[in-house]
Amino acid sequence: MRTLLADHPLVTHKLTLLRDAQSDTATFRALADELVTLLAYEATREVRVTEVSVTTPVGTATGAMLAQPKPLIVPVLRAGIGMLGGMTRLLPMASVGFVGMVRDEESLVASTYANRLPADLTGREVFVLDPMLATGGTLVTVISMLADRGAASVTAICLLAAPEGLGRVEQAFPGDGSPAVRVVTGAIDERLNDKGYIIPGLGDAGDRLFGEI
């Protein structure tokens, strides 16, 4: 597993506003959307391309287009939905699958309640959207589901990550095996608290995106 800390000044600026407890739902949603697009730019740096030639008004240029099979984007319900628009803005040709995970607030163990993934992901590049990499349980489960289906690479885009979560993903997917696993995040925070929240973090990402339920 490789980790890319995308600590570009624009990312840090928007993340700082996102963390602010005073930012309301509309502001939070807009900031999350913009942040994902910035992180997606870094996360797609290694996306596969095919060389093509293109006829310009005055000649022929060699260029590159995204290769087939097209990438798959997987937002993790519920909070990952708040990241989908920012990702598809950069990859409008990608298909989208869904995994729904819910965390037991006592045990902090995540269980799957929805799965709309293609049965065969052989050779596919997959981008998982989950704003908070906390204990890492959700991400390890989702990556395992994608690995079982043959994904070639899995890149998780997380607004924030905790050292504990990064450690758990690294333990589950060490080295450069298959699928190649990467985590792209805007910040690595201090720690988790005893409720599994990232400290200092930004609170409950789903509640802040969509309101408390």
Site residues (vs ligand URA, CB under 6 A): 79, 132, 134, 196-198, 201, 204-206
Nearer to ligand URA, 136 or 179 (CB): 136
Q: Which residue has the tokens 């973090």?
A: 201
Q: What is the smallest separation between the CB atom of 190 and ligand URA, expressed in angstroms?
A: 12
Q: Would you say 148 or 204 has its CB closer to ligand URA?
A: 204
For the bound state, the minimum distance from the C-beta of residue 135 to ligand URA, rounded and expressed in Å, comes to 8
Query: Does a cis peptide bond (omega within 30 degrees of 0) precede residue 92?
Result: no
Q: For ligand URA, give the closer residue by CB, 14 or 208.
A: 208
The distance of closest approach from Cβ of residue 113 to ligand URA in the complex, given in angstroms and rounded to an integer, is 16
Least distance to ligand URA, CB of residue 92, Å: 27
| Phi, psi torsion values for 74, nearest 5 degrees | -125, 95
Tokens, residue 182 = 């990467």
Q: Tell me which amino acid residue 204 is.
A: D
Which is closer to ligand URA, CB of 141 or CB of 153? 141
Q: Which is nearer to ligand URA, 44 or 138 (CB)?
A: 138
How many of the other CB atoms lie within 10 Å of CB of 41? 14
CB atoms within 10 A of CB 145: 19
d(CA 126, CA 166): 18
- Strand 125-129 relative to strand 72-77, pairing: parallel
Beta 180-185 vs 198-199: how paired, if at all? Answer: unpaired
CB of 164 to ligand URA, least distance (A): 11
